[in-house]
A = this chain, B = another copy of it.
Amino acid sequence: MITIYLAEDQSLLASALAQLLDLEDDLHVLGTAADGQQAWLDISREIPDIAILDIEMPKATGLDVADWIHHAGLKTKVIILTTFAQQAYFERAINAQVNGYLLKDLPSDDLVADIRRIQGGATIYSPELVQNMVTASKNPLTEREMDVLKAAVDGASTKEIAKTLYLSEGTVRNYLSAIFSKLAVHNRLEAVHFAQKNKWV
């Protein structure tokens, strides 16, 4: 019997999936949570065979929980189950040594099959993501440039950015100009769009 813990903040999916998995003879859902904190509390106490974690959840993300499980040395195998193929997320998940990274864009039968294979020792990454890893546009911005860009996404003025980062206004404008140049755009709005599209922010 494979014991499973499910953390997913969209109630409909969580409850549907929990019921469905429980119908399988060899699977048993120990519990579910709608936020990362609760998930970690339960997982660390019950030590399920498999933890299926959504990424975007209140209080703590699935990646946070994956880190904690990894650092605590639990035997629980971790499956990240998320909506989109986000490079940054994926890289972090690999570092946390998750056993599976699957997209919600797969049929539930496949998920069941993957759970069994992962329990058997396999590591399964969604093919789309592995492919992406090669082609994905690397972020060409320096750390400081990212600081400035992050400070600018919400529409803060040069003056405000300068104040929060303890820079002169000219410096802030210069960073932004460098960012535009690297991203091949010509104003903040376009730069923010670009960054958001690539999930840098």
Show the binding face of A for B, using Cβ within 8 Å.
Answer: 10-13, 15-17, 19-20, 23, 81, 83, 104-109, 111, 152-155, 157, 185-193
28 sampled A-B residue pairs with Cβ under 8 A: A10-B83, A10-B104, A11-B104, A11-B105, A11-B106, A12-B13, A12-B104, A12-B107, A12-B108, A12-B111, A13-B13, A13-B104, A15-B109, A16-B20, A16-B108, A19-B20, A19-B108, A20-B20, A23-B23, A152-B189, A154-B189, A154-B193, A155-B185, A155-B186, A155-B188, A157-B186, A157-B187, A189-B189
4 more contacts with CB within 8 A, not counting A13-B104, A15-B108, A155-B193, are A11-B106, A23-B23, A153-B189, A155-B187
